[in-house]
Amino acid sequence: MISRALLASALASCALLACTPLRFVDAVSENQSSRIGHLVIHFTSGDFAESLRVLTERTERPVSSHYLVPENGDPTYPRRRLRVYRLVGDDQRAWHAGQSHWRGDTALNSSSIGIEIVNRSSCVAKAPSNEPSVPEVRCEFLDYDPEQIELVIELVLDILRRHPGIDPEDIVAHSDIAPDRRLDPGPKFPWRRLYEHGIGAWYDEDTAQRYRERFEAEPPALALLQRGLAAYGYDVDDTGEHDVRTQYALRAFQMHFRPSDWSGQADAETAAIVFALLEKYRPRSLEALLETSL
């Protein structure tokens, strides 16, 4: 049996060790990067108070985001001036992306920062979801508050200073990464304005015009357009058919880059923008794409 003296000595040693923090030698490796590689923009479809409640309280289906940006004119917002609400630290995983896909990454909750913007836009389905085409939706997309957008720009620029590894084309809409489930932040979100402030991706008009003239004369094969969408980041297979998955991806892409018409139909204008973006942001993917299409 262990003697009382030996037991007391062991306990004393354990207590002493517990009070002494483990010391490390820091030898910082150059072979590392931030785990944050994406930024996802959402709208709330509800007012500030309800959005804050849903994003912060535990429920049966918990959701959250890293930041919440209110809007002017919301009677449920308690402050005189708009302020960004931080709900989850950047180093923590918020539950905002759900089942999603972008550039082959399906764990976007773990690699992204989510921004929810208070905006009461909403959509309802008008056709059964079991039809062999994208269900028709009736949407009311509301304009964004200009002051709110300025605050979003300020927030995103601050995030990019802290996470410079986020590429422009990885600043995306929720609808980009989950086109079969989500339509936010919708066609009224000013992506081009953000681009003019150094945020996100946008195509060069001269390049798009060059492809536009080419595709108006000879439209690209649908399979080629599908491969182009996939090369940019969307979850699309090159079936050569205008299937539901392709229609969802086209609709999301059009909301982001051609918001005047987001029907989900393939056309020369959409193809021109896809290839202009690839030429600007994914030149190697474009080169490989064109080689395989010859």
Just list the catalytic residues. 116
Helices 244-257 and 222-232, axial angle in degrees (round to 10): 60
Length of the chain: 294
Cα angle: 60, vertex 180, 41; to 5 degrees: 75
Alpha helices in 204-267 (DSSP H): 205-217, 222-232, 244-257
Contact assessment for residue 85 and residue 68, using Cβ atoms and an 8 Å cutoff: yes
| Token code pair at residue 272 | 């021109």
Residue 198 neighbours by CB under 8 Å, 6+ apart: 157, 160
Three-state DSSP state, 178: coil
Q: How far is CA 264 from CA 2, 31, 59, 240, in A?
A: 77, 42, 34, 15
Cα dist. 119→73, 157, 188, 256 in Å? 11, 21, 11, 17
- Cα dihedral 24→30→36→38 (10° resolution): 180
Of the candidates 67, 17, 75, the residue with the CA atom closest to the CA atom of residue 43: 67
